[in-house]
Amino acid sequence: MSAQKKRMEWVWVLILAVVTAGIALGLFFKSDKDAHGEEKDHEHSEKEKESKTADEHEHSEGEGEHDETEESEEAIKMSATQATEQGIQFAQVDEGKISATQRYPAKIVSNLDQQAHISSGYAGRVEQVNVVLGQSVKKGQVIATIYAPDLIEQQANLDIAVQNLALAKQDYLREKTLFDQGVSAKQDYLRAQNGFKRAEIEVQALQSKFKALGLRVHAQGRYAISSPIDGVVSKKDLVVGEYVQMTDQLVTIDQTGRLWLEFILPSNVIVRPQQKINFQSLQSDVISQAVVKRILPEADTTTGQLKIQAEVSDSSVILKPNVMVNVWLASNNDEVVVPRVAKSAVQQVEGKAVVFVVQEKEGQLQFTPQPVDLGATSSDQKWIEVKSGLTQKQRYVTQGSFVLKSEMEKSEAGHAH
């Protein structure tokens, strides 16, 4: 019985070993299969990545072709009739002379030949001021009123002289009557006549002085300062209550529209009287013109260079005394022949200078913005040098380029939406 029991135990041990070995073999084959599956999955993943990369590359090439199509679509198309209605004009790129010009600082000043410096004819206290800086005044308009003690004394002397004249006239008429009647001596008559003439001359002299100073006979010590010209009050040193002297310059009046352009003459520039020069205010893009009038006889105290004065030809509200401007001057007399376009053709698009070129396709005009590299500007500000971007005889828009720029911006805004 005991032997049989031992055999059963060995049978169970053998069965357990077989089962364990089977389980181990199963796990081994499963691990190998999983590893093989992962390798396949990795290869499949790599193939998918390569396929995706190829697709993206093809897509990017497609986008590049699309971008090129869009760039070609930047061109604005219209018929010749539409271009004419929009005021668009074009010409061919040609060669022309452009002087080498440079900008130099300058300043607008008042024309001293058309300026009035006003002072008081009497020392006294300011009672009234009738003008402010920048105000337009007419000739004879009262600017201020001064209370002058000396004027009271002069008016008193005039009153006394008038009374003396009246007495001298009475004495003269009485002596003349007596002389005519043979009662008075001729000597007395002549004495009375001379006294009357002297009194008359004294009154006339005082009245002429009052008239020359613009005084009223019964002004009661008040002196009215008047403007001698039509113009604008550019300076005023006049306050109610202050005491002024005869030598004080109280008001400066400039004639409107008469301004000078002043600048220091560069050593490498030659200008001549009556030469026309262009200048531009720092606050505006407007080009103005002036005519050289004189080269001052004395050099500038700071630089030792000569100073030029030119009369401003244009009248503009922007141009005021002391406004800083830039003046264009040719650095030498040599002119170079270069490819050039009209300055009106140049527009700024995304910070770059462009010129709209013209092509004719399928019966329509096609306008395309062409970036250009620009050089010097002509002295008359009408032409500008083209260093690159355009070729000889190429047609471009000379007038109406701003209209095309606006149309292009509208089109881009539509695509953005």
* 385-417 residue pLDDT tens: 888 898 888 999 988 888 888 888 777 665 555
Q: What is the pLDDT of residue 156?
A: 79
For range 375-392, the mean pLDDT:
81
Confidence tier at 334 by pLDDT (50, 70, 90): low
For range 191-218, the mean pLDDT:
80
Q: What is the pLDDT of residue 42?
A: 46
Question: Where is pLDDT greater, at 40 or 106?
Answer: 106
Has residue 236 got a pLDDT over 60?
Answer: yes
Has residue 44 got a pLDDT over 50?
Answer: no
Phi, psi of 363 (to 5 degrees): 80, 5
Ranges of beta strands (E only) in 93-207 are 94-110, 115-119, 124-129, 136-137, 142-147
Q: What is the b/e burial string over 287-311, where b = at least 16 CB atoms within 10 angstroms of the residue's CB?
A: ebebebbeeeeeeeeeeeebbbbbb
- Class of domain 120-254 as given by CATH: mainly beta
For range 230-248, the mean pLDDT:
88
Q: How many CB atoms lie within 10 A of CB 128?
A: 15
Phi, psi of 250 (to 5 degrees): -95, -40
Has residue 323 got a pLDDT over 60?
Answer: yes
Give the angle 20-26-31 at the CA atoms, nearest 5°. 130
Has residue 255 got a pLDDT over 60?
Answer: yes
The CATH number assigned to the domain with range 73-99+336-416 reads 2.40.420.20
For residue 388, list its beta bridge partners: 373
- CATH (one of 2.40.30.170, 3.20.20.70, 3.40.50.150, 3.90.1300.10) for 103-111+255-334: 2.40.30.170
For range 184-202, the mean pLDDT:
87
Q: What are the tens digits of pLDDT across the range 344-372?
A: 889 988 888 999 999 888 888 888 898 99
Q: Which two tokens stand for residue 315?
A: 């009248």
The Cα 92–Cα 397 span in angstroms is 9
Choice among 36-50, 163-177, 178-192 with the minimum mean pLDDT: 36-50
Whole-number average pLDDT of the chain: 78
Give the angle 342-348-354 at the CA atoms, nearest 5°. 55
Question: Where is pLDDT greater, at 328 or 67?
Answer: 328
